[in-house]
Chains A and B, each alone.
Chain A
Amino acid sequence: MYSLSFIYLPAPPNLKFKMQNERTYIKGELVCYHCGDICNDKSIVKDDKIFCCTSCKLVYEILEENNLCKYYTLDDNPGISPPERNKTKYEYLEDEQMISSLVDYTDGKITILTLQIPQMHCSSCIWLLENLYKLDNGIVYSRVNFPQKKLNLKYLNDKTNLKQIAELLDSLGYEPMFNLEAIEKGTRNKYNKKLYYKIGIAGFAFGNIMLFSFPEYLGLDKIIDPLFRSFFGYLNLIISLPVFFYCSSDYFISAYKGIKNRIINIDFPLSLGILVIFLRSAFEILSHTGAGYSDSMTGLVFFLLIGKLFQNKTYDSLNFERSYKSYFPLSVTVMKSAKETTIPLSKLKIGNRMVIRNGELIPADSILFKGEANIDYSFATGESIPVNKVLGEVIYAGGRQYGPTIELEVIKNVSQSYLTQLWNSNSFVKQKKNTISEISNIFGKYFTYAILIVALVSTAIWMNINPSEALNVFTAILIIACPCALALSMPFTLGNMMRIFGKNKFYIKNTAVVEKLSKINTIVFDKTGTITLNGISEIEFIGSDLNNFECSLVKSLARNSTHPLSRAIYQYLNDYKDYNISEFREISGHGISGSILNNSVKLGSSKFLSGDIKLLDYKEKQNSSEVFLSINEDIKGYFSLKNSYREGLKDLIGKLSQKYELHLLSGDNENEKELLKDFFNDSNNLHFNQAPENKLDYIKALQLSGKKVMMIGDGLNDAGALKQSDVGISISEDINSFSPMCDAILDSDMLIRLHEFILLSSKSMKIIIMSFIFSLLYNIAGLSLAVKGLLTPINAAILMPVSSISVVLFCVIATNFIAKRKNFSIKN
Chain B
Amino acid sequence: MFIILVLIGVSFIVAAGFLVAFLWAVRNGQYDDRYTPSVRMLFDDSDIQKN
Knowing A70-B49, A123-B42, A200-B19, say if A191 contacts B12 (CB, 8 Å): no
Q: Would A145 and B36 count as touching, CB distance under 8 A? A: yes
Q: Would A147 and B33 count as touching, CB distance under 8 A? A: yes
**CB under 8 Å from chain B, chain A span 24-70:** 47, 64, 67-70
- Binary CB contact string for chain B from 27 to 51 against chain A (1 if under 8 A, 0 otherwise): 1000111111001101100011101
Q: Does B26 contact A (CB under 8 A)?
A: yes
- How far, in angstroms, from A235 to B23 measured CA to CA in the complex? 21
- How far, in angstroms, from A201 to B22 measured CA to CA in the complex? 9
Q: Would A146 and B33 count as touching, CB distance under 8 A? A: yes
Q: Would B15 and A208 count as touching, CB distance under 8 A? A: yes
Q: Which residues of A contact B18 (CB under 8 A)?
A: 204
- How far, in angstroms, from A148 to B11 measured CA to CA in the complex? 40
Residue among A148, A200, A224 facing the most chain B CB atoms (10 A cut-off): A200
Q: Does A418 contact B (CB under 8 A)?
A: no
- How far, in angstroms, from A259 to B48 measured CA to CA in the complex? 65
Q: Would A64 and B31 count as touching, CB distance under 8 A? A: no
- How far, in angstroms, from A79 to B2 measured CA to CA in the complex? 68
Knowing A197-B26, A228-B4, say if A70 contacts B47 (CB, 8 Å): yes
Q: How many A-B residue pairs have CB under 8 A?
A: 68
Chain A residue with the shortest CB-CB distance to B4: A228
Q: Which residues of B contact A47 (CB under 8 A)?
A: 51
Q: Does A141 contact B (CB under 8 A)?
A: no
Q: Which residues of A contact B48 (CB under 8 A)?
A: 67
Partner of B33, one of A148, A201, A211, A212: A148
Knowing A127-B43, A147-B33, A147-B36, say if A200 contacts B51 (CB, 8 Å): no
Knowing A147-B35, A197-B26, A204-B19, say if A130 contacts B5 (CB, 8 Å): no
- How far, in angstroms, from A18 to B5 measured CA to CA in the complex? 67
Chain B residue with the shortest CB-CB distance to A190: B32
Chain A residue with the shortest CB-CB distance to B27: A193
- How far, in angstroms, from A47 to B51 measured CA to CA in the complex? 10
Q: Does B8 contact A (CB under 8 A)?
A: yes
- How far, in angstroms, from A224 to B8 measured CA to CA in the complex? 16
Q: Does A225 contact B (CB under 8 A)?
A: yes
**How distant is B1 from chain A, measured CB to nearest CB, in Å?**
6
**How distant is B37 from chain A, measured CB to nearest CB, in Å?**
9
Q: Does A196 contact B (CB under 8 A)?
A: yes
Q: Which residues of A contact B31 (CB under 8 A)?
A: 191, 193, 196
- How far, in angstroms, from A193 to B29 measured CA to CA in the complex? 9
Q: Which residues of B contact A212 (CB under 8 A)?
A: 8
- Binary CB contact string for chain A from 139 to 160 against chain B (1 if under 8 A, 0 otherwise): 0000011111000000000000
Q: Would B19 and A69 count as touching, CB distance under 8 A? A: no
- How far, in angstroms, from A2 to B36 measured CA to CA in the complex? 11
Q: Would B19 and A64 count as touching, CB distance under 8 A? A: no
- How far, in angstroms, from A632 to B46 measured CA to CA in the complex? 61
- How far, in angstroms, from A211 to B15 measured CA to CA in the complex? 12
Residue among A68, A70, A191 facing the most chain B CB atoms (10 A cut-off): A70
Partner of B22, one of A69, A131, A200, A225: A200
Q: Would A64 and B51 count as touching, CB distance under 8 A? A: yes
**How distant is A432 from chain B, measured CB to nearest CB, in Å?**
25
Q: Which residues of B contact A228 (CB under 8 A)?
A: 1, 4-5
Chain B residue with the shortest CB-CB distance to A146: B36
- How far, in angstroms, from A266 to B25 measured CA to CA in the complex? 33
Residue among B11, B31, B33, B42 facing the most chain A CB atoms (10 A cut-off): B33
- Binary CB contact string for chain A from 105 to 140 against chain B (1 if under 8 A, 0 otherwise): 000000000000000000100110011000000000
Q: Which residues of B contact A148 (CB under 8 A)?
A: 33
**How distant is B21 from chain A, measured CB to nearest CB, in Å?**
10
Knowing A123-B42, A127-B43, A130-B40, say if A67 contacts B49 (CB, 8 Å): yes
- How far, in angstroms, from A63 to B11 measured CA to CA in the complex? 54
Q: Which residues of B contact A193 (CB under 8 A)?
A: 26-27, 31
Q: Which residues of B contact A70 (CB under 8 A)?
A: 47, 49
Q: Which residues of A contact B33 (CB under 8 A)?
A: 145-148
Q: Does A817 contact B (CB under 8 A)?
A: no
Q: Would A69 and B1 count as touching, CB distance under 8 A? A: no
Knowing A146-B35, A193-B26, say if A208 contacts B40 (CB, 8 Å): no
**How distant is B27 from chain A, measured CB to nearest CB, in Å?**
7
- How far, in angstroms, from A161 to B23 measured CA to CA in the complex? 37
Q: Does A584 contact B (CB under 8 A)?
A: no
- Binary CB contact string for chain A from 208 to 236 against chain B (1 if under 8 A, 0 otherwise): 10011000000000001100100100010
**CB under 8 Å from chain B, chain A span 227-279:** 228, 231, 235
**CB under 8 Å from chain B, chain A span 179-208:** 191, 193, 196-197, 200-201, 204, 207-208
List the 8 closest pairs (A to B, CB-CB), nearest first: A146-B36, A204-B19, A196-B26, A145-B33, A200-B22, A123-B39, A67-B48, A69-B51
Q: Given contacts A2-B35, A191-B31, A197-B26, could you give 19 more A-B pairs where the C-beta distance is less than 8 Å?
A: A67-B47, A68-B47, A70-B49, A74-B43, A130-B40, A131-B47, A144-B40, A146-B33, A146-B36, A147-B34, A193-B26, A193-B31, A200-B19, A201-B23, A204-B16, A212-B8, A228-B1, A228-B5, A235-B12
Binding site for A on B (CB under 8 A): 1, 4-5, 8, 11-12, 15-16, 18-19, 22-23, 26-27, 31-36, 39-40, 42-43, 47-49, 51
Q: Offer 24 A-B interface pairs, CB within 8 angstroms, sorted by A.
A: A67-B47, A68-B47, A123-B42, A126-B39, A126-B40, A130-B43, A144-B36, A145-B36, A146-B35, A147-B34, A147-B35, A147-B36, A191-B31, A191-B32, A193-B27, A197-B26, A200-B19, A204-B15, A208-B12, A212-B8, A228-B1, A228-B5, A235-B8, A235-B12
